[in-house]
Amino acid sequence: MELIDLSDNVGKEAIFRDFLDQICDRFELDHAAYAGVNPVSGTIHGFVNYPDSWKLHYTQMGFDRFDPTLHKAGRSIAPVDWRRLSQDDNYHRVFRDAADFGISEVGLTIPVRGPFGDIGMLSVTRNCKLTEWDLLTKGIMSELQSVAVHIHDTVMRSDSLSKVLRQPNLSRREREVLQWIAAGKSQYDIGDILSISHRTVEVHLRSGREKLYALTTAQAVARAIALGLIYPL
């Protein structure tokens, strides 16, 4: 199943929660949570698909004030497996209770940093053995990174000022690659045309696609045309 593109549905909380459900379905995870801070609008965003009973308990206990998956993971540049936080006293205060609600402590948090000091975190968890977890996460880490940035960018663009600030800023090379894609050329062809390696083409394409908040190359081409960044052919 393909993930629904979030960026056409800005500001609709139900859509974000649905996106978390899709992430869980697609990557075989139990629960997902996103939290993000937008310093431009001064807002904090949070979406989870945890059971309501756990959400209520978490809020009542004020776990959000010291939960290390929220307060520490954001300072890493790499995904933080929760095992890394288990030295923290606060970790046990949260996860001792989590166990009572059937929430696993097998999980990780992907920190996202945006261009304006904005920070987001996508946390995912699954009730399974650690060996199984390690095998699973190894295979999906790149995709989790991409969906983490996608949901973060979309949430951060949900107020009008931030949307203006976050206009896609593509380099000449990224526009060139997208233009040749629109003309039906393969990445190998484009490498030959531009005299660069096909992996260089790929990295520019990936960067251009993500700057356009698109999940697929087709979406990226459509948006680039709509924004007048490339010519329709």
Partner 1 sequence: MIIVIDALNKQDFPAILDDMFRLRARVFGDRLGWEVEIKNGQEKDKFDALDPAYVIGLDDDGHVVSCVRALQTTGPHMLSDVFSSILHGEPPLRSATVWESTRFCVDTQRLGRGTAPNSVSYATCELMIGSLEYARRSGIKDIVTVIDPVMDRVLKRSDNAPYGYVGKTTPMGKVPAMAALLDCSQERIDRVRNFAGIQGEVFADEARLRETQRVRFDAAKMPASSIRDNLFEYLREQFHAAGSDEERNAVERLAAQLHASAALTTSSPVMDNRIH
Q: How far is the CB of 86 from partner 1 (least distance, A)?
A: 12
In this complex, which beta carbon is closest to partner 1, that of residue 102 or of residue 115? 115
In this complex, which beta carbon is closest to partner 1, that of residue 80 or of residue 106? 80
> What is the spatial distance between Cα 149 and Cα 136, in angstroms, rounded to a whole number?
20
Residue where the block lists tokens 């697609």: 26
Nearest Cα to Cα of residue 171 among 217, 228, 229, 112? 229
> What is the spatial distance between Cα 121 and Cα 34, in angstroms, rounded to a whole number?
6
Provide the 8-state DSSP code for 28.
T
The H or E element containing residue 59 is: helix 52-60
Q: How far is the CB of 17 from partner 1 (least distance, A)?
A: 21
Q: How far is the CB of 102 from partner 1 (least distance, A)?
A: 28
In this complex, which beta carbon is closest to partner 1, that of residue 104 or of residue 200? 200
In this complex, which beta carbon is closest to partner 1, that of residue 131 or of residue 169? 169
- Residues at the site binding partner 1, with contacts judged by CB under 8 A: 72, 75-80, 84-85, 112-115, 117, 138, 141-146, 148-150, 169-173, 196-197, 199-200, 203-204, 206-207, 210-211
Between strands 43-48 and 31-38, the pairing is: antiparallel
Q: How far is the CB of 76 from partner 1 (least distance, A)?
A: 5
Between strands 43-48 and 80-81, the pairing is: unpaired
